[in-house]
Amino acid sequence: MEYVSPEGLRLDGRRPMEMRQIRAEIGAVSNADGSAVFEMGNTKVIAAVYGPREVQNRSQQINDQALVRCEYSMANFSTGDRMRKPKGDRRSTEISLVIRQTMEACILTHLMPRSQIDIFVQVLQADGGTRSACINAATLALADAGIPMRDIVTSCSAGFLNSTPLLDLNYVEDSAGGPDVTVGILTKLDKVTLLQMDSKLPMDIFENVMQLAIEGCKAIANYIREVMLENTKELEYRRGI
């Protein structure tokens, strides 16, 4: 199948190095300590953070740092045909683990000893790149909950189809079976916290693809930062003196 037309356009009309439209909104769940909705094109994810709060299961309590937990689930209506089991299958446990490890690396857990932080992410619409969207949403929600973090983590995917590197794959491109690199970076520190790849790539091409994904992460980070700053300013002026 042809994923990049001779004119250099992808199936959804994007250029190879073009990202889908992103939109973020803070404060979607009123009962949570922090929450956010993150959209990348047709992929839509909601994240809610509870905590730091008292550890529910005493035996899991850690005496010098916070316990971070994460649950990833997909809504029944998120995919083309309805999901039977929205969570608890092998794929979602793996993604929960990935998100947990990525977020734990950037939260300053030692500042909140003997407490727990719960991150719940749910996919409302799945159109490829849910993993990255979830990480971006979780970052926003954690910042909204006022949890101290080392840096902003953002994530973006990139692929390689028809011998062209493609940024931010959608569902059709993702299911083509080509290589799919998901990268998560700490933007200010310029460090990689997450790197996953399906199938194989030659070394030199891999470098290009990864560089492309990193550029994507940085673009997302700029946007996320804008959203957070706007939100902070709004809270401050509304509160008044």
CA dist 127 and 41 (Å) reads: 8
| Nearer residue to another protein within complex by CB, 199 or 222 | 222
Q: Compute φ and ψ for 147, nearest 5 degrees.
A: -95, 125
CA dist 51 and 227 (Å) reads: 22
| Nearer residue to another protein within complex by CB, 126 or 156 | 156
CA dist 188 and 149 (Å) reads: 12
What is the contact mask toward another protein in residues 27 to 56, using x (rule: CB under 8 A)?
A: xx-x--xx----------------xxxx--
Instruction: Work out whether 23 is an interface residue with another protein (CB under 8 A).
Output: no
| Nearer residue to another protein within complex by CB, 15 or 150 | 150
Give the total residue count for the chain. 241
| Nearer residue to another protein within complex by CB, 97 or 229 | 229
| Nearer residue to another protein within complex by CB, 97 or 108 | 108
In three-state secondary structure terms, 221 is helix
Asked whether the beta carbons of 229 and 223 are under 8 A apart, the reply is: no
What is the contact mask toward another protein in residues 144 to 183, using x (rule: CB under 8 A)?
A: xxxxxxxxx-------------------------------
Instruction: Work out whether 94 is an interface residue with another protein (CB under 8 A).
Output: no
Asked whether the beta carbons of 27 and 36 are under 8 A apart, the reply is: yes
Count Cβ atoms below 10 Å from residue 64 Cβ, excluding itself: 8
Q: How far is the CB of 233 from another protein (least distance, A)?
A: 5
Instruction: Work out whether 66 is an interface residue with another protein (CB under 8 A).
Output: yes
Instruction: Work out whether 26 is an interface residue with another protein (CB under 8 A).
Output: yes
Residue selected from 155, 157, 187, 193 as contacting another protein according to rule CB under 8 A: 187
Instruction: Work out whether 58 is an interface residue with another protein (CB under 8 A).
Output: no
Angle formed at CA 36 by CA 33 and CA 80, multiple of 5 degrees: 130
Stretch (H or E) spanning 118 = strand 116-125
In three-state secondary structure terms, 133 is helix
Query: Could you list the residues that contact another protein (CB under 8 A)?
Result: 26-28, 30, 33-34, 51-54, 66, 108, 112-115, 143-152, 187-189, 225, 228-229, 231-241
